[in-house]
């Protein structure tokens, strides 16, 4: 009887291990969907996933939530503080966006940005060096800014 138990226990343990591998399959993630750039597709709640100007400044914006509204306003909130700004398309093709805040450190995001990518989970912007203006507070034409949707 004891000789029969040992193979049965081994078989049982093997079945448990195999079941664990089958049950633990990685969940497939859906690829992001590229959106047509309109005021309604930009509208929504975002956080800063990455902001690089002359150096990585992402941590400056930790804790902020940015609400882009279709009417061209942006509301940035952090804890109980609220900051109002504006945004607009800076060209007729909706390939550029202009952001304006008066409050520090949010004014570091001011200026014209080229819309590289807009998906259902992020808005990726790069410095629009072809449209430099005096309101750009990001000094590098290598700047990039990624907003991630909440």
Number of structural domains, the chain? 1
Classify residue 73: in a domain, yes or no: yes
Classify residue 10: in a domain, yes or no: no
Residue 110 is part of which domain span? Answer: 40-149
Return the structure tokens found at 36: 């047509």
Classify residue 125: in a domain, yes or no: yes
Classify residue 70: in a domain, yes or no: yes
Classify residue 15: in a domain, yes or no: no
Closest residue by Cα to residue 150 from 43, 52, 59, 74: 43
Classify residue 48: in a domain, yes or no: yes
Q: According to the model, what pLDDT value does residue 130 have?
A: 53
Q: 40-57, pLDDT tens digit by residue?
A: 999 999 999 999 988 999
Q: 102-127, pLDDT tens digit by residue?
A: 999 999 999 999 999 999 999 999 98
Classify residue 53: in a domain, yes or no: yes
Q: How confident is the model at residue 78 (pLDDT cuts 50, 70, 90)?
A: very high
Classify residue 105: in a domain, yes or no: yes
CATH assignment of the domain containing 72: 2.40.128.270
């Amino acid at each position: 009887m004891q000789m029969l138990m040992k193979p049965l226990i081994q078989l049982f343990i093997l079945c448990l291990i195999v079941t664990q591998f089958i049950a633990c399959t990685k969940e497939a993630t859906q690829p992001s969907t590229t959106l047509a750039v309109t005021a309604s597709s930009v509208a929504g709640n975002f956080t800063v996933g990455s902001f690089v100007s002359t150096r990585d400044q992402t941590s400056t914006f930790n804790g902020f939530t940015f609400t882009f509204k279709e009417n061209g306003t942006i509301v940035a909130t952090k804890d109980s503080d609220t900051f109002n700004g504006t945004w607009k398309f800076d060209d007729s093709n909706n390939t550029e966006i202009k952001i304006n805040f008066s409050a520090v450190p949010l004014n570091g995001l001011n200026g014209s940005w080229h819309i590289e990518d807009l998906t259902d989970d992020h808005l990726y912007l790069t410095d629009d060096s072809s449209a430099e203006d005096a309101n750009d507070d990001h000094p590098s034409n290598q700047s990039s800014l990624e907003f991630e949707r909440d």
